[in-house]
């Protein structure tokens, strides 16, 4: 069970980092979403990994910690808001620029000697 959770967290993190380094804004938004999923899964797994045990209070077993569940719930809400704002910024950049590339066009770049 621990290997499965660790593998899932690792794959989500690796895919998220790869997508964040892409030059299209949709891939960056998707990469940030995957990274937030990896963080949520890590926070949730940091509470306790137990099969067939109650999540908070147990009879005869050690009680679970409800703090990671609260942190994950808060992180889900924050990441949803962050994703919505980022998508709106990417959509605005696409509508004003005509494409969703993150890099600045060469024609708009100012050489270092001409900067003020």
Q: What is 31-83 written as a DSSP string?
A: HHHHHHHHHHHHHHHTT---TT--SS--SSSPPPPSHHHHHHHHHHHHHHHHH
Judge whether 70 lies within some domain: yes
Judge whether 30 lies within some domain: yes
In CATH, what number is assigned to the domain containing residue 30? 1.10.287
Model confidence pLDDT, tens digit, residues 46-102? 876 666 766 666 565 556 667 777 888 998 999 999 999 989 988 888 888 777 777
Judge whether 76 lies within some domain: yes
Q: Structural domain of residue 36, as residue ranges? A: 2-49+66-101
pTM to 2 decimals? 0.73
């Amino acid at each position: 069970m621990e290997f499965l959770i660790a593998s899932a967290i690792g794959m989500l993190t690796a895919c998220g980092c790869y997508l964040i380094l892409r030059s299209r804004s949709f891939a960056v938004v998707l990469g940030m979403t995957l990274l937030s999923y990896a963080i949520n899964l890590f926070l949730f797994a940091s509470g306790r990994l137990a099969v067939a045990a109650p999540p908070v209070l147990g009879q005869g077993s050690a009680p679970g910690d409800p703090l990671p569940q609260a942190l994950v719930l808060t992180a889900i809400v924050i990441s949803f808001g962050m994703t919505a704002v980022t998508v709106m910024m990417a959509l605005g950049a696409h509508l004003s620029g005509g494409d969703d590339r993150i890099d600045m066009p060469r024609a708009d770049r100012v050489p270092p000697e001409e900067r003020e």
